[in-house]
Chain A
Amino acid sequence: MGADLNVLEMNNISKTFPGVHALKNVNLAVKKGTVHALMGENGAGKSTLMKILIGMYTQYEGEIIFKGERLAHSNIKSAIDAGISMIHQELSYVPNMTVSENLFLGNEPRNRWGVVDRKKLREDTQSYLNLIGVKLDPGTLMKDLSVSERQMVEIAKAISYKSDVIIMDEPTSAISDREVERLFKIIEGLKKRGVAIIYISHKMDEIFRIADEFTVLRDGTFVGTQPIEGANIDQMIAMMVGRQLTDLFPRRTPEYGPAILTVRNLTKRGVFENISFEVRKGEIVGIAGLMGSGRTEVVNCIYGLDRSDSGEIRIRDTAATIRTPKDGMRQGIGLVSEDRKTLGLVLQLSVKENIMLPNFQLCTRYQVVSDAKEKMIADGIIKDLSIKTPTRDQKAGNLSGGNQQKIVIGKVLLGNPDLLILDEPTRGIDIGAKSEIYKLISQLAEQGKAIIVVSSELPEIMGLSDRIIVLHEGKVTGELTREEASEEKIMAHAFGK
């Protein structure tokens, strides 16, 4: 086993929540100075295992050997002190404090009067930022940074703790390709310094690029650990889902009808300008572009979440005034937003209530809701989209990302829109749910819906779209048919070439 090489070993870890085994005899061994990918579908137990490692859960069976010693930390602080830190998918920071104040929060250098030594604070921050090669002013407010920059600050923070193991949970889910490259360089640097990274991601290409080994969990059990060398995607997926997935993107022969949506010279000053395109009945149009290219802003304006300054939106060749989401819905537009937690769902409400939220007209009379009808409709969606939930009354926040996304899609579909806009429809969800959502999108196009898919994942956009529109800094820089499209061409347009 080469135990002396392993900076971390988690042996026979089991964890039960009332009624259910969340983890059963799971093992994880991570070597010093390597990137170890932790893989599995949502609900496989990855986060539970990591929460045990960072001291969020203290009740479990099994043992953790860290740097050759048995680790029995009791809380997050002691885990950090021992040398284990985690960069969460949803970053936590104080938005109105500066980079350096966030970096040293709770750990501020003091001068001899016990007052925060601002000069040292700034210098130390600068040196940590330099260490990972990030150019940032330590005095910038956290809220003024991009998602990726905030992430860099979190990484600098982990380094400032002198961590030997850094857990990164979906670190690339909200950053652009260019920023991903920067992150990977930083990870390489960390490896050279002997830091081990536990890397959680659903993106296969990333894992093949940067991981040295991978461990797969399925349904709370340990499936296996292997070196990346010699592994292939199909085998990895089979380990994760326990079956072979064929044809991630279903093939279809599109039949187009008349234009459902026509956008002419749509402009929102400083965000996007002169956007023109159309989407026909039965067609899937992909919108590609880097983060910040205006993709999301354009579709939000079409739906009414945001307002444009000028330009025209025509629905079925009739000019439409869309100022609010309600207007958008009335025009037959449905939006599955990129941000399911803030825009898609009310997490503390039940699955049923979330599905019904925009659709009460289906089960009310004189503003009074019919319980029986409501239950029937919600159950229908749960069944049709195979949403995995113990009951319709389960809180949406308790479901996995894939099932949450299905709720959002379900509630939008219930309104029977002619134009369906899906913004990052598979962000942060596992491969099994992904393939189901791809199938659903194709079926909907075949049933004659007009569909817009916005995505930063190129394979997804190429696999689904009949036509791809590429944005760069708020302008359309390219339009490609399915046949013309290639990753290189899309990226070239996306960089404005």
Chain B
Amino acid sequence: MQEFLQQVVNGLTIGSIYALVALGYTMVYGILKLINFAHGELFMIGSFLAFTLIVSANLMEHIPHPVAGLVAVFLLVALMVAVIGLILERVAYRPLRRSSRLAPLVSALGASIFLQNAIMLVYGGGYLVFPENLVPNIEWSVGGINIGLMRVIILALSISLMLFLYLLVQKTRLGAAMRACSLDHDTARLMGINVDRIIALVFVIGPALGAIAGIMVGMYYRQINFTMGWAYGLRAFTAAILGGIGNIPGAMVGGLLLGILETIGAGYVAAAWKDVVAFIILILILILRPTGLLGERVAEKV
């Protein structure tokens, strides 16, 4: 039982990262009906930029307090990746908004290949290692379950970001405009909503959240590689589908659930098959309940 609970805690940690990345997929899908294949790369770029700030630019040394230093890293990286997200939307997706469904899909794949290789050219193909003591190595034991400080930070930060986003979408005028756009662009435009600006906003928030997830992965696992965007991106996408794509609470639930299922699968079945778990869940969900746990209809209406 204790081991099981430990697995659940581990799963929640990684799951909250999936959930953060999944939010980016689900928001873009909700508004543009586009699978932003490049989103995983934005996540990956987040962790590489953080590596640059922390290791190459030695940002932490220049800022007196280590907590302030970390906050600065998070904010700066989120900002930079949000700008990249904006450029991505502008260059790769906006010109294709009125074309067939195939075109944005291919464009997204192209953007993904481009970003991945750009990072590989700049940073090289090998693994980069984050420094060890960014977060003090404190561990608590609650009823026999070990919880490290880094885990607590990941959980707290991602859950508060998700809450923030949820409130933004549900309670503010801006959120109402976003929801309106996801229902119908033309009608939203008639209601005086600047649809282009809302789409741009989605491409700011999603990548920023993804980048924060990327930094946390870098700090938690400490090894980063230019291919990691693909692996995490696909899992996050699975999480979004699992919860019901286009549905923000769905992405959160889906992420956490996927994290737990994957960790338990790895712990009790076989570690080598861990990567299959996400895909099997993805396929089963799409076959059996394509609406996801909390989502809209996705099967072809014929």
Real binding pair? no
